[in-house]
Structure 1
Amino acid sequence: MHMNKSLQELADYLDGKVIGDPSVLVSGLASLDDAREGEITFLANPRYAAKVASTKASAVVLPPGADGHGKNVIETANPYLAFAKLLTLFHVRSPKPQGVMPGAFVGANVALGADVTVYPGATVLDGSKLGDRVVIYPGAVVYQGVTIGDDVTIHANTVIRERCIIGNRVIIHSGVVIGSDGFGYAPDGEQWFKIPQVGIVIIEDDVEVGANCTIDRAALEVTRIGKGTKIDNLVQIAHNCQIGENCMIVAQVGIAGSTKIGKHVTFAGQSAVVGHLTIGDNSMIGAKSGVACNLPAGSLVSGIPAYDHRQWLKTSAIVPKLPEMKKTLGTLEKRIADLENLLNSKK
């Protein structure tokens, strides 16, 4: 759908300030390099500031005080956030509700909210509850007794196991498994006896789960993903974990069982945590790091095992020099030995 907005309308939408002609019409957005007349662009990284002068865009979103080079400008404190909001405004449309489409299976005693779409090949088993404007794409399977809130999107080939609870405005990407059995076994001689996993997973409001993630159900109670948390692709969260609000968990992270994560914790790619730990609010775990002990709030760690990031940077800078240092040490050892022999010979 084609849309034209005046610069003033966009500034109001972004809670920004117009510098230039507020009546200029904008029909879309693009990068500084690719924008054309009629489009708006943005500057989030100061290193590209020179491109503002040469862009062909009709307007630029800039931080306060940046040089607009005579362009029409919307000034806002966070241009990158403005970019995300403009993308949403110009490109994101809610799909028209389709109801339960032919080829979908909906079991007995399923409660369907208003404007639900269940695509062909999707399955919703007995006793589940779907809120308003839920969309379930082909191949997705919702087990018995699942509760799904409003405005939830479940992409193709996702599995949500029995009795799990999904909050409002949750996005679950393709191939996700929520509520698979936790990895729990009791030793029985040389064999292993499976511990039944009878708990559930609760996904709170405004969570996004990337493709092919696995979130295991609790052994007895709840594995919980806190409100607003964003999970990238290929993440494993084990049983009984408690993930706080607004965390950022990047691809290939592994979080072992019964770990408690505070609010606004960031896990960089391929980092991991051993089980039964507590990680405090606002901590940051560097890429490929392995956390093996509790971390207080505000920690910034890297390495295997993970320790203070600043110290890790210093240590990492030394590692490439170790062969040269070893050679120097060997030379010094030889010289000391020669001096000792010389002194001994004069006694």
Structure 2
Amino acid sequence: MKKTLREIAEYLGGTVSGDGEILIGGLATLDDAGEGQLTFLANPKYAGKVATTNASAVLMGTGGNTHGKNAIFHATPYLAFAKLLTLFYTAPPPRLGVLPGSFVAPGAKIGADVTIYPGASVGPGVTVGDRVTLYPGVVLYPGASVGDDVTLYANVSVRERCRIGNRVTIHDGTVIGSDGFGYAPDGSSWYKIPQIGIVVIEDDVEIGSNTVIDRAALEVTRIKRGTKIDNLVQIGHNCVIGEDCMIVSQVGISGSSQLGKHVILGGQVGVAGHIKIGDNVMIGAQSGVPGNVEPNQVLSGTPVMPHREWLKSSTLVPKLPEFRKTLSALEKRVAELEEKLAQTQND
């Protein structure tokens, strides 16, 4: 597929600088792009590379220096480039139907234009929407439901009665609706608390590989619309994750915690149970969240504190051995002065 620079600019809502009739057939980085390709500049740190790139055109922020290159100016070039990647390289998956070697239980409801690969298993009472793709090893347990335009990659499990919305993508090895980690003390042992709730994944959610979202003990663990969850994330039972959140790899969220809208958790953040994090909160990587967090804050550290305070504190840690030596010397000096003062008073 080839498009003129002007057509691309119109598609993105940007403006052309230079020859709008040149043809663009692909995208590449500033370093690797060649003739007939479009590159992009999102970070001003690399602005000097615009002068040396071999690309036929550059997508950049409004008012940037083109160095004489053909260009598209756009208010958000990174987002615009992502949309072009979708336009040029993302094709709809083939619709192959229910392939031999897959299992669909009698009574399961299967929508139109689906692809169910060999090794996938659809249990009794399951509902699968239109244009769904189930790759090998996917298991939909009895009573689960999957909306339209959903892609479940290899070895995804959706447990009993859990619900997946529309336009959801779940990557390899993820488990939706495993039992929550609930046990009651029974003398010196533990009695398993039956986990009879479900998980609801709302529309436009994407979940990475090998993530686990536990079913609720009684009601619903809910991932709300538009949230994006990375690989290797653990979300405990009865949690509610708000709309448009971003949860990065190896985050652990304990049971019954709630996140507001547009919360961002950096890698390896740990969230205690039964707490609330307000809207628009950002928490830095490897932080620990032991209690409720008010909205509209940027926090880091364990326990979390305002990010700027954490930055100041963290710069002191490497200096602690030096501070200890200084403090020991001061203590010794003070002791000597006190001894001399006592001798003077006795004289």
Which of the five TM-score ranges fits, normalised by the shorter chain? Answer: over 0.9
State the SS of the aligned residue for 1:201.
Answer: strand
2:256 matches 1:251: no
Displaced runs of 4 or more, over 4 A: none
The answer for the alignment partner of 2:2 in structure 1 is 4
- Output aligned runs, 1:318-329, within 5 Å: 318-329=316-327
Q: Cα distance, 1:131 vs. partner?
A: 0.8
The answer for the alignment partner of 1:316 in structure 2 is 314
Partners of 2:126 and 2:42 in 1: how far apart?
44
2:177 matches 1:179: yes
Instruction: State the TM-score, normalized to the length of structure 1.
Output: 0.98
The answer for the alignment partner of 1:227 in structure 2 is 225
Partners of 2:4 and 2:18 in 1: how far apart?
12
The answer for the alignment partner of 1:198 in structure 2 is 196
Partners of 1:122 and 1:334 in 2: how far apart?
74
2:319 matches 1:346: no
Matched residue count: 345
Higher deviation after alignment, 108-117 or 34-43: 108-117
The answer for the alignment partner of 1:111 in structure 2 is 109
Q: Give the letter for the 2:106 counterpart.
A: A
- Output aligned runs, 1:57-68, within 5 Å: 57-68=55-66
Q: Cα distance, 1:334 vs. partner?
A: 1.3
State the SS of the aligned residue for 2:199.
Answer: strand
- Output aligned runs, 1:37-76, within 5 Å: 37-76=35-74
State the SS of the aligned residue for 1:179.
Answer: strand
The answer for the alignment partner of 2:133 in structure 1 is 135
The answer for the alignment partner of 1:84 in structure 2 is 82
The answer for the alignment partner of 1:212 in structure 2 is 210
Q: Cα distance, 1:297 vs. partner?
A: 0.2
Q: Cα distance, 1:190 vs. partner?
A: 1.1
The answer for the alignment partner of 1:25 in structure 2 is 23
Partners of 1:287 and 1:118 in 2: how far apart?
38
Q: Give the letter for the 1:31 counterpart.
A: T
Partners of 2:156 and 2:334 in 1: how far apart?
68
Partners of 1:336 and 1:195 in 2: how far apart?
61
State the SS of the aligned residue for 1:33.
Answer: coil
Q: Cα distance, 1:301 vs. partner?
A: 1.4
Q: Give the letter for the 1:148 counterpart.
A: V
Partners of 1:195 and 1:147 in 2: how far apart?
25
Q: Cα distance, 1:63 vs. partner?
A: 0.3
State the SS of the aligned residue for 2:79.
Answer: helix
Higher deviation after alignment, 302-311 or 235-244: 302-311
Q: Cα distance, 1:299 vs. partner?
A: 2.0
The CA RMSD over aligned residues, in Å, is 0.7
Identity %: 63
The answer for the alignment partner of 2:285 in structure 1 is 287
State the SS of the aligned residue for 2:184.
Answer: strand
The superposition leaves residues 4-24 of structure 1 with CA deviations (integer Å, 9 ceiling, x where unpaired) of 011111111111111111111
Q: Cα distance, 1:78 vs. partner?
A: 0.6
Listed as ranges, the gaps of 5+ residues in structure 2 are none
Listed as ranges, the gaps of 5+ residues in structure 1 are none
State the SS of the aligned residue for 2:255.
Answer: coil
Q: Cα distance, 1:287 vs. partner?
A: 0.6
Q: Cα distance, 1:129 vs. partner?
A: 0.7
Q: Give the letter for the 1:80 counterpart.
A: Y
State the SS of the aligned residue for 1:240.
Answer: coil
The answer for the alignment partner of 1:156 in structure 2 is 154
Partners of 1:299 and 1:273 in 2: how far apart?
16
Instruction: State the TM-score, normalized to the length of structure 2.
Output: 0.98
The answer for the alignment partner of 2:168 in structure 1 is 170
Partners of 2:312 and 2:141 in 1: how far apart?
51
Partners of 1:110 and 1:129 in 2: how far apart?
6
Partners of 1:16 and 1:82 in 2: how far apart?
9
Q: Give the letter for the 2:61 counterpart.
A: P
